[in-house]
Amino acid sequence: MSGRTSWSIPFLCGGIFGALSTVATVGDSDLFWHLAQGRQTLSEGLARVDQFSWTVPGMPVLTDQWLGQVAWYGAYAGLGWTGIILLRSLLVAGIATLIVAAALRAQPRPIVAVLAALPAITLTRFAWTERPQLMGLFCFTLLLFLLRVAWERPRVLIAVPPLILLWANLHASFVLGLALALIAMVILGLRRAELRTMLAVIAGASLAATLLTPSGAAIWTSASGHFLSPPRMVLEEGVPDVAQPYGVVFVLIILASLVTAALGRPVPLFEVALMVPVLFVSMTAARHTPFFAVASAPYLAARSPEAVAAIAAGLRIRLRLPALRPSVPPVAVDVVTALLAIVAVFGGAATARAAPNLDPYPLGALSSLPSGPGLLNDYDWGGFLIWYAPATPVFIDGRLFPYTGDALRDYDTVVAVGPTWREVLARRGIRTLLVKPGSPLAVRARDLGWSIVSEATRYVVFMVPNSLSARLD
Amino acid sequence: MFAVGLPSTDSDTYWQLATGRWILDHGAFLRQDIFSSTVSGTRYGIGEWLGQVAFAGAFDVAGWAGIVILRALLVATAAFFVIRLARRGGAAWWVTLPLAVAALLVSKITWTDRPHLFTLALFPVLLELLLSLPAGASRRLFVFPPLLLVWSYLHGGYLIGLAVLAIFAAHAILVSGRAGLPLAATTIVSAALTLLNPAPLELAGAAREDFLSPPRFLSEFLPPDVLTPAGFLFAALVLLVLGTAMLRGGSLLEALLLGPLLYLAFVAQRHMIFFSFAAPVFLAPRLASLLDGRRFELAPQIRVPTAVALFVVALVMIATAPTAPDQRVYPTGALATLRADSGVLLNEYDWGGYLIFTLPERPVFIDGRYVPYLGGVLDDYRTMVGLRPGWRALVDKYRVSELLLEPERPLAVALREDGWRVRASDASGRWIVLARP
């Protein structure tokens, strides 16, 4: 597509979805430890070892999201919970804007482009969390937009190394972006020999940019670990499940792509290279499903009308889209639309409930938790405790990787009442349990008549009897 | 060759054999549960009766070797037709063979000794028949109603066969208009004929449940995991189909057929086989066209020796086929203890089928048939074994007097602490028998 592209519709969609995202409550279980780590980085410098748990204190922790954590904490420090909502809605608005813009580049008919972009935006809804992950999705959307523009204007690839540099410091998903950028540059180089030197320099700079992080070369370890061996015990790292709403949307997008490919006109290898590798990554874990949705939106926008027309022809239905492209409005209209979108996002954030939703957390238990080591907490509540009960170090939390090994194994043994659960309680010196009432550990502790310090529908706090450790000793 | 070399391991094989044996012994359908202490007398599925009889018959004739040979025959049938399907487009063997092998390796997760194997074999047969069908009326259409009828006696997968038949009929009408009507009529007749099944709606109901709310606690009903070998191969086929179709285009039939089969595959990994078997039909010619000019044919002088060598290996594999199932995952050592006792036994879900077959005198609490247990017993079983609130009341309600569980189950740990006696246990820690004090 040549000529100026109107950004009015992308901005409009971005504003709408950005404003809509402010309705979603804040309270992702990992948000709290990200905030705590961001605060620590700003006040004491980058934390390379654990300071929040009593099970792995001093052990190395991942630093691959340090900039994202700082950004989230910065938003919180500046505007409180409203800042978190605002940053999230700005990112959502940015993602929606770029998805629609990419679709409009491929399909000039606005209605078709927006319809094709809607499933992708819908699927990103499952990633509207207050975590660096959302920044990674924004970077991915921006990169794909740049790569598609680069097919006609290769010079825009100059923006790739700085984007990769930023992304590598925000979130580990940069690996996917780098791989895609390299594949795209190879295909572009095969097509246009005169660009090969420039592409080689950009590719080298992009690779080098990934090393400019506090983790250095180790950043690749954590990123590849996530992609190749996702911890399936975490819900979002599970296999995409078509029995869940997000899974239905994901699979329908794959089916739409397949049907479109079968019935639409062929496309260049470049387009295939931007979609097929992303599909594999998306199939590895539920949290990765938005990637393919974003990558396929422009393709669906461009080619799905052909597939629909082919099916309609089979049904003897005459279907013809208007051949005329709509006129591109003046730049002033784009500017006004952008301003309106910003107003909508800021207005939405300003009027949103400026407090996290703590319903899923054991808020009422905080006053009964002892300070110092000795608490065994539910995995899902670790981040919450790091933020709201800093005097009580956690047994485990959503950072997961520092705990891989003995700590995680011991946690699993105790909460599942495994054969050596009492031995672990004694060896670890666990004095207090903060668990869900329906968990096997809570049921067993109640059976044994252990003293309950605090209790509500969602949680129960038990004191571990002193006699337990004495008997085992 | 590969299939014949694998020992029987699936826990469901045992209750399928027990059911088939009962049908053969009594000359009647087994319409209600006789194997459990919890749902005894409850109606349950008879939709796979012929498949169960076939396996029981093979067992009666040649023991476990009979089971292995039946399995090998069904897998060989599937392999033969999958390769024929892949070769339909005339692509070179070095394009079609890897695709067919990949599809068969995906299917390996379903090479279990159950009526499901009949669907594994019949699905590619149906595809081959449909793809070789001439347009309009043909005497070949008469093959489909009896095929679907027999299939409906063998396994519930006939519903997928009916759906595929309907897809081909819809395609024929879309493309050829009135010329597609004979196939549409054949589809209707086939569907009507399957109602002669002794439980026509029962399988449809079960299939609907499996599709809408797959029982995720069973590994075969988990969604495809692309980081497992079978899942990876499945993903590779999906990516190849999508990538090559984007580059070369496809057809209406491909869109109509592969779309639903792909959705089905995402519902549960056991359904990956249908997409994987159908995909090479469309994929092979496209790949061949993308790799055009790269010819590599097997030299004529080595074709015959290769065939002879494969035949000899097949004979050796058959001669050395395992004559006993692999029972290392089962509590074989607990049988003597359990046989000496009585009362309600709470057993591990995965061992229920094995106990039905090897210890018929002790009714099971639960087993792999799972449907009769849905709603009540299955939930109660999970509550007890997982030590959920109310577990103790349930142990008393069912009057459980003995347990056969994995030792690390929370219930086993709790009851040992509460003084239940260890009647027997496995030295390597795979099972434990506990009895009330």
- B258, B290, B322 - which closes a domain: B290
Residues A344 and A368 both lie in one domain: no
Interface of A with B in 323-352 (CB under 8 A): none
Strand order in the sheet with A460-463: A375-377, A432-435, A460-463, A452-455
For residue B171, tell me if it sits in a domain. Answer: yes
**Residue in B280, B279, B243, B242 with CA at minimum distance from that of residue B261:** B279
Tokens of B333: 């050592």
Buried b / exposed e across B263-277, counting CB within 10 Å, b at 16+? bbbbbbbbbbbbbbb
Dihedral (CA of A132, A138, A144, A150) sign: negative
Asked if B226 lies within 8 A of A271 by C-beta distance, the reply is: no
Percent of chain B clearing pLDDT 90 (strictly above): 76
Tokens of A257: 């792509």
Residues B226 and B361 both lie in one domain: no
Asked if B266 lies within 8 A of A258 by C-beta distance, the reply is: no
Among the partner-chain residues B174, B251, B266, the one whose CB lies closest to the CB of A242 is: B266
A370 and A431 Cβ atoms separated by less than 8 Å: yes
pLDDT score at A241: 95
pLDDT score at A470: 47
Q: How far apart are alpha carbons B7 and B64 in whole angstroms? A: 9
Looking at residues B382-394, what average pLDDT do you find? 97
Q: Which of A126-130, A384-388, B214-218, B404-408 has the lowest mean pLDDT?
A: B214-218
pLDDT score at A4: 66
Looking at residues B147-169, what average pLDDT do you find? 95
DSSP state of B403: E
Q: Using an 8 Å CB-CB cutoff, list chain B residues near A251.
A: 262-263, 266
Give how far Cα B69 sits from Cα of A135, B35, B61, B321, Å. 56, 27, 11, 8
Q: Residue B401 pLDDT more than 80?
A: yes
Give how far Cα B116 sits from Cα of A266, B119, B189, B359, Å. 38, 5, 24, 25
Tokens of A209: 């940019």
Asked if B263 lies within 8 A of A417 by C-beta distance, the reply is: no
Looking at residues A94-119, what average pLDDT do you find? 96
| Residues 6+ away with beta carbon under 8 Å from B344 | B37, B365, B398, B399, B400, B401, B402
Asked if B242 lies within 8 A of A258 by C-beta distance, the reply is: yes
Tokens of A34: 């990200």
Q: What's the total number of domains in chain A?
A: 2
Q: Residue A117 pLDDT more than 60?
A: yes
Q: Residue A414 pLDDT more than 70?
A: yes
For residue B411, tell me if it sits in a domain. Answer: yes
Q: How far apart are alpha carbons B302 and B300 in whole angstroms? A: 6
Residues B385 and B257 both lie in one domain: no
Residues B357 and B286 both lie in one domain: no
pLDDT band (50, 70, 90) for residue A326: low
pLDDT band (50, 70, 90) for residue A461: very high
Residues B136 and B281 both lie in one domain: yes
Residues A342 and A382 both lie in one domain: no
Q: Is B135 on the interface with A (CB under 8 A)?
A: no
Give the max Cα distance, chain A. 84
For residue A356, tell me if it sits in a domain. Answer: no
Residues A387 and A342 both lie in one domain: no
pLDDT score at A228: 74
Tokens of B342: 């009585």
Percent of chain B clearing pLDDT 70 (strictly above): 98
Q: What is the CATH number of the domain that holds A376?
A: 3.40.190
Tokens of A268: 């260049």
For tokens 């639309």, what's the residue?
A: A337
Nearest CA in chain B to A439: B388
B265 and B271 Cβ atoms separated by less than 8 Å: yes
A117 and A103 Cβ atoms separated by less than 8 Å: yes
Residues A333 and A398 both lie in one domain: no
Interface of A with B in 400-459 (CB under 8 A): 416-419, 421, 437-438, 440, 443-444, 447
Question: What is the DSSP track for A80-112?
Answer: THHHHHHHHHHHHHHHHHHHHHHHHHH---HHH
Q: Using an 8 Å CB-CB cutoff, list chain A residues near B243.
A: 272, 275-276
pLDDT digits (tens, 9 = 90+) for A127-148: 999 999 999 999 999 999 999 9
Give how far Cα B74 sits from Cα of B51, B79, B126, B164, B320, Å. 12, 9, 14, 20, 18
- Chain B closest-CA separation from residue A71 CA (Å): 33
Higher pLDDT, A175 or A313: A175
Mean residue pLDDT of chain A comes to: 93
DSSP state of A231: -
Beta bridge partners of A60: A49
- B256, B290, B324 - which closes a domain: B290
pLDDT score at A79: 97
Q: Using an 8 Å CB-CB cutoff, list chain A residues near B239.
A: 276, 279-280
For residue B16, tell me if it sits in a domain. Answer: no
Residues B273 and B380 both lie in one domain: no
For residue B271, tell me if it sits in a domain. Answer: yes
> CA A53, A56, A60 angle in degrees (round to 5)?
110
Interface probe with B: pick from A229, A235, A239, most Cβ of B within 10 Å: A239
For residue B159, tell me if it sits in a domain. Answer: yes
Residues A251 and A347 both lie in one domain: yes
Model-level pTM greater than 0.90?
yes
pLDDT score at A471: 44
Q: Residue A225 pLDDT more than 90?
A: no
For residue A51, tell me if it sits in a domain. Answer: yes
Looking at residues B284-311, what average pLDDT do you find? 79
- A305, A328, A351 - which closes a domain: A351
For residue B27, tell me if it sits in a domain. Answer: no
Residues B131 and B192 both lie in one domain: yes
pLDDT score at B211: 76
pLDDT band (50, 70, 90) for residue B23: very high
Q: In the 3-class helix/strand/coil scheme, how is A404-418 assigned residue by residue?
A: CCHHHHHHHHHHCCC
Higher pLDDT, A399 or A325: A399
- A351, A381, A399 - which closes a domain: A351
Mean residue pLDDT of chain B comes to: 92
Q: What's the total number of domains in chain B?
A: 2
Q: Residue A1 pLDDT more than 50?
A: no
For residue B300, tell me if it sits in a domain. Answer: no
Residues B285 and B340 both lie in one domain: no
Tokens of B140: 């070949």
pLDDT band (50, 70, 90) for residue A325: low
Percent of chain A clearing pLDDT 90 (strictly above): 84
**Residue in B128, B167, B172 with CA at minimum distance from that of residue B147:** B128
pLDDT digits (tens, 9 = 90+) for B37-54: 999 999 877 789 999 999
Residues A382 and A343 both lie in one domain: no
Q: Find the domain containing A435 and state its range.
A: 363-472
Residues A316 and A460 both lie in one domain: no
Q: Which of A228-237, A269-278, B171-180 has the lowest mean pLDDT?
A: A228-237
Residues A347 and A368 both lie in one domain: no
Q: Which of A107-121, B56-70, B222-236, B304-318 has the lowest mean pLDDT?
A: B304-318
Q: Residue B204 pLDDT more than 90?
A: no
- A321, A351, A381 - which closes a domain: A351
For residue A2, tell me if it sits in a domain. Answer: no
pLDDT digits (tens, 9 = 90+) for A58-91: 999 988 999 999 999 999 999 999 999 999 999 9
Q: Residue B65 pLDDT more than 80?
A: yes
Question: What is the DSSP track for B214-263?
Answer: --TTSGGGSPP-TTSHHHHHHHHHHHHHHHHHHHH---HHHHHHHHHHHH
Residues A325 and A402 both lie in one domain: no
Q: Which of A268-272, A387-391, B92-96, B207-211 has the lowest mean pLDDT?
A: B207-211
Q: Residue A460 pLDDT more than 90?
A: yes
Tokens of A156: 């825009």
Torsion of CA A211, A217, A218, A224, to 10 degrees: 90
Residues A20 and A69 both lie in one domain: yes
For residue A24, tell me if it sits in a domain. Answer: yes
Residues A259 and A204 both lie in one domain: yes
Residues A382 and A274 both lie in one domain: no
Nearest CA in chain A to B212: A243
Q: How far apart are alpha carbons A100 and A121 in whole angstroms? A: 9
ipTM: 0.94
For residue A132, tell me if it sits in a domain. Answer: yes
For residue B208, tell me if it sits in a domain. Answer: yes
Q: Is A259 on the interface with B (CB under 8 A)?
A: yes
pLDDT band (50, 70, 90) for residue A323: low
Q: Find the domain containing B73 and state its range.
A: 45-290
**Residue in A205, A189, A214 with CA at minimum distance from that of residue A69:** A214
pLDDT band (50, 70, 90) for residue B295: low
Q: How far apart are alpha carbons A298 and A295 in whole angstroms? A: 7
For residue A211, tell me if it sits in a domain. Answer: yes
Angle between the N-to-C axes of helices B229-248 and B252-267, in degrees from 0 to 180, rounded to the nearest 10: 160
For tokens 């395992």, what's the residue?
A: B322
pLDDT score at A317: 83
Q: Residue A472 pLDDT more than 50?
A: no
Residues B276 and B357 both lie in one domain: no
Asked if B249 lies within 8 A of A266 by C-beta distance, the reply is: yes
A384 and A433 Cβ atoms separated by less than 8 Å: no
Torsion of CA B84, B88, B89, B90, to 10 degrees: 70
